[in-house]
Amino acid sequence: MFAIEMTKMVERFSLKNLTPELDLKDRWIQHSDINRPALQLAGYYEYFDAERVQLIGKVEYSYLLSLSREQRRDMFQRLFLTDIPCLILCRDLDAFREEGILELAVQNDVPIFSTDQPTNGFSADLIQYLRTEMAPRTSLHGVMVDCFGEGVLIMGESGIGKSETALELVQRGHRLVADDVVEVRKVSDEELMAQGAELIQNLIELRGIGVLNVKELFGVQSVRLTKSIDMVIKLEQWDRYKQYDRVGLEVETIDILGTDVVCYSIPIRPGRNLAIIIESAALNHRQKKMGYSAAEELRQRVNENIRRRRQEREMLRKTDQIRRQTPEE
């Protein structure tokens, strides 16, 4: 599991630090889920994950108001003793300053933050952010582009033409995500998010020319920071003895972080326009996701043609039998 610095979360959501006395450096969040301590406020700690960020919303706050000052202080003391990473109050709810809750948090080394956002929306955004930042990840050698809204990961051996193809796609109006090093994160069971390495972001290398800044050359519309991987294009040298798929009925996949991604192997020969091929592959993949497959249509046409020919042969056979059985006049 990966962890993120607490300061990054505070900066990302513009949280108000109600305990500035505590140093936030070297504090890490190690769990991608959050917890709203409803049962814990009632005293139930038999099943409680103290590593999660604790979130208090309107419901929990209303319950706290129903308690006496002594009960609230005892409740917070017990919560802070579990060594939670931090506590966040939504909707700019009061932190019971008059009762010394903030001082109690400082004594137990528990930062308290506040946000003006509604609880449900903030919790959803926070969970998505934490899961993305803590997702399993890997680095792949390739080029990532956004082609017609489809995330296309172009892979192949060094010098085969990945960067040149990506540059031509950018010139045709598509967007570059990463060149050479593609960082992939598994943000959910089925979604892989790709981005470029921070050191070489927006840069592309062309052998014989050097490094180019795509953003500066073609404008901000030519790049994007992240994109989910929808398909993989494998560029490989043409092998005259290898059988390549010419219809598209067979679905090849590649395993990336335990997720199967549709993969197309494209043989390289002089004169092939790879940019057009990748554009066509992206559009075809998009059509398949929308329920249409040209390969399936071809198969249906072939099956229908075979069925019709069989019917014609059967009719001819029956006609020939009738002629034989009919006596000549």
Could you read off the pLDDT of 245-275 as tens digits, one per residue? 777 777 889 999 999 999 998 888 777 789 9
Could you read off the pLDDT of 60-79 as tens digits, one per residue? 999 999 989 999 999 999 99
What's the rounded Cα separation, in Å, for the pair 175 and 178? Answer: 10
Q: Give the pLDDT score at 1.
A: 57
Domain boundaries, the chain: 4-133, 142-289, 293-329
Give the active site residues: 141, 162, 180, 246
User: Predicted confidence band at 47 (pLDDT cuts at 50, 70, 90)?
Assistant: confident
Could you read off the pLDDT of 127-155 as tens digits, one per residue? 999 988 888 889 999 999 999 999 999 99
Residue 329 one-letter amino acid: E
3-state secondary structure of 34: strand
Q: Give the pLDDT score at 244.
A: 73
Q: Give the pLDDT score at 260.
A: 93
Q: Indicate the CATH number of 142-289 among 1.10.3470.10, 1.10.1670.10, 3.90.1580.10, 3.40.50.300.
A: 3.40.50.300
Q: Could you please state the CATH topology (level 3) that the domain comprising 4-133 is classified under.
A: 3.40.1390
How far from 123 is each of 39, 51, 105, 179, CA to CA, in Å? 18, 16, 22, 34
What's the rounded Cα separation, in Å, for the pair 116 and 297? Answer: 54
- The torsion angles phi and psi of 60, rounded to 5 degrees, stand at -65, -40
